[in-house]
Amino acid sequence: MTTPQFPKNFLWGGAIAANQVEGAYLTDGKGLSSSDCQPHGIFGEIVERKPNDQTEIKDVAIDFYHRYPEDIALFAEMGFTTLRTSIAWTRIFPNGDESTPNEAGLAFYDKLFAEMHKYNIEPLVTLSHYEMPFHLIKEYGGWGSRKTIEFFEKYAKTVFNRYKDSVKYWLTFNEINMSLHSPMTGVGLIENNSDDKQSIYQAIHHQLVASARAVKACHEIIPDAKIGNMLLGAVAYPLTPRPSDVMATLEENHGWLFFGDVQCRGYYPSYMRRYFAKNGVELNITEQDKQDLKSTVDFVSFSYYMSCCATADPAQKTKGNILDMVPNPYLESSEWGWQIDPVGIRYLLNVLYERYQKPLFVVENGLGAKDKVEADGSINDDYRIDYLNDHLVQIAEAIEDGVEVMGYTSWGPIDLISASKAEVAKRYGFIYVDLDDSCQGTLARKKKKSFHWYQSVIKSNGQTLKVK
């Protein structure tokens, strides 16, 4: 490939999430969310917050709730044709089990989507991005309870009805497979450690049914909309060609592809039978659940930051640092230890397309790095440009391979609060935000070098990317 080619209607943009940008903690009737109760990130302790507690960084975040017109104008200046964001469930149903929604919360997203449309930016909206009402966790046990399916369905129908004219692209649960690694974040299980597979998979089952019911409701309420799932694309390679490592890799990939298999095919894949039997998991799946699961997604979306390796060798396994991933000896790592593998995104796109034969959407990808503001005020983030360039080139390769890719939204087009550790030092943006980890800063926005780079990439529909 000499010049990258993207389809004419390819959607270009960025991805953010309510709990990582909005701030406005408990403002306008918002309820306490699971994210609010994990102030130090999705692997951090769970703290039941009280209204007058000390301010945590996510409570303010980058104050997108109040500053969104300025931010959307900057996204428009870069040429975005889409913006992925999420709705905070707790702004709509503060406790999750109310009979009527919170009008102030609904009105906020009316204004937000109208602002995007002003610039012809298509909203791509995640129903639940790492958050749910904390009340549902405390009172009902989160997704451990079947009741939560109904609460979620009601929330989904409420927002589909409200935004049916303004939102045509939807996603159900962000990185649904993260439930395995951070049960509190994924399925709202406080008491369970990650070894309690019975509880976790039953909760995941409820979430999969809820996802399918949302798909059905979306098709009924907004027939011209498309709704997808969202997977953490943690693709694994065999650490060595040893057959045992190759088998371990198959199993590792089944661990997360299982979610996509259910959401795309409408039933549990056969390999899970053996896994459940081996791990003593017995799911309560009703006939109605089986019917519900048949509502499958229109497209598959995923995040991709890194690949990893899998091995059957227990001695090697201990080397993994993120989600027990075993590092690849051929790859370099980011400052946060995430291994950089642009070719992996081409491989993953091919794997998913061959498996599901559905359009794909890359809804997260990016480099978290420390940025330096120079004396003249400039921020020269060439490392970010290189990372994004190389991944986009590989996406173009996948398109050339025949994979149908709907669009690309880089993670964190504006600096935001990181999910894993709730820090802002790990920056992803094209736009710098004056804020530090001790919550100090003016919150002023500033364009980085990558801002102008991404602007030219979008303007040329990818033709300015460098094939190295």
Residue numbers at the binding site for ligand BGP (CB under 6 A): 17, 20, 130, 174-175, 232, 303, 364, 368, 411, 418-420, 426
C-alpha distances out from residue 8 to 13, 25, 73, 81, Å: 15, 40, 23, 12
d(CA 122, CA 111): 14
Of 305, 274, 260, nearest in space to 15 by CA: 305
Helices (H) and strands (E) in the chain, counts: 16, 12
The smaller minimum CB distance to ligand BGP, of residues 94 and 368, is found at 368
H/E stretch holding 125? strand 122-128
- CB 343, min distance to ligand BGP, A: 20
DSSP class of residue 421?
Answer: T
Locate all alpha helices (DSSP H) within 1-95, ordered by sequence.
18-21, 57-60, 64-78, 89-92
CB atoms within 10 A of CB 145: 18
d(CA 303, CA 129): 12
Q: Which residues, including other chains, have CB under 8 Å from residue 251's CB and lie 6 or more apart?
A: 310
The smaller minimum CB distance to ligand BGP, of residues 236 and 312, is found at 236
Is 201 within 8 Å of 283 (Cβ atoms)? Answer: yes
Is 461 within 8 Å of 455 (Cβ atoms)? Answer: no
Is 395 within 8 Å of 349 (Cβ atoms)? Answer: yes
H/E stretch holding 352? helix 342-356
Q: Which residues, including other chains, have CB under 8 Å from residue 107's CB and lie 6 or more apart?
A: none
Q: Which of 22, 175, 252, 397 is catalytic?
A: 175
175 is catalytic: yes
d(CA 218, CA 274): 33
d(CA 143, CA 267): 19
Dihedral sign for Cα 161, 162, 167, 172, please.
Answer: negative
Is 188 within 8 Å of 143 (Cβ atoms)? Answer: yes
423 is catalytic: no
Is 440 within 8 Å of 459 (Cβ atoms)? Answer: no
Is 351 within 8 Å of 401 (Cβ atoms)? Answer: no
Q: Which residues, including other chains, have CB under 8 Å from residue 276's CB and lie 6 or more apart?
A: 201, 282, 283
- Residue where the block lists tokens 């791990």: 279
Q: Which three-class secondary structure state does DSSP give residue 226?
A: strand
Of 105, 131, 129, nearest in space to 38 by CA: 131
Enumerate the active-site residues.
175, 364
